[in-house]
């Protein structure tokens, strides 16, 4: 069985920028009225998003009781020490550099999915 065959299918929501991510997570803007108690099982965040960077989104996620314990993985091209430190100090669960090669990127995301969705234990998850 391949890695791709051995995983649970989950809905993926893609935000185009940091403000859209915040709006989705907290039911504001174009997502007003969304059930904000329906929190993601995992958040993959890029640091270099327009309008609000990944650290800003991370602070909002960690500052709200509904999303405080949702695993957040920083998935970014930056290898800057200050970005790594800021992410981990801000409450990210993991910091992963994106591979440049698309095939390796997909493999990396699949590995993240397997760990965070199937291996990692979370309160309230069966």
CB atoms within 10 A of CB 57: 25
The pair of structure tokens assigned to 54 is 């990944």
- Tell me the whole-structure pTM to 2 decimals: 0.80
Q: CA 75 to CA 44: how far, in whole Å?
A: 6
According to DSSP, the residues that pair with 75 across neighbouring strands are 96
Q: CA 7 to CA 27: how far, in whole Å?
A: 29
Question: pLDDT by residue for the chain (126 residues), tens digit each?
Answer: 344 444 445 677 889 999 999 999 999 999 999 999 888 888 989 999 999 999 999 999 999 999 999 999 998 888 899 999 999 999 999 898 887 777 887 887 788 777 777 666 766 655
* SS3 category, 97: strand
Provide DSSP, 40-74. -S-EEE-SS-SSS-HHHHHHHHHTSTTTTTS-EEE
Q: CA 119 to CA 40: how far, in whole Å?
A: 16
Domains of the chain, CATH where assigned? 18-119 (3.40.50.2300)
CB atoms within 10 A of CB 58: 22
According to DSSP, the residues that pair with 44 across neighbouring strands are 73
């Amino acid at each position: 069985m391949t890695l791709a065959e051995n995983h649970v299918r989950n809905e993926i929501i893609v935000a185009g920028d940091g403000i859209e991510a915040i709006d989705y997570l907290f039911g504001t803007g174009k997502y007003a009225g969304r059930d904000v108690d329906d929190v993601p099982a995992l958040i993959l965040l890029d640091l270099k998003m327009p309008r609000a960077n990944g650290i800003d989104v991370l602070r909002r996620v960690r500052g709200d009781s509904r999303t405080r314990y949702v695993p957040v993985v920083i998935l970014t091209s930056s290898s800057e020490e200050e970005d790594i430190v800021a992410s981990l100090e801000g409450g990210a669960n993991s910091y992963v550099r994106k591979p440049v090669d698309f095939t390796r990127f997909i493999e990396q995301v699949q590995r993240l999915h397997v760990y965070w969705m199937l291996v990692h234990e979370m309160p309230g998850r069966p």
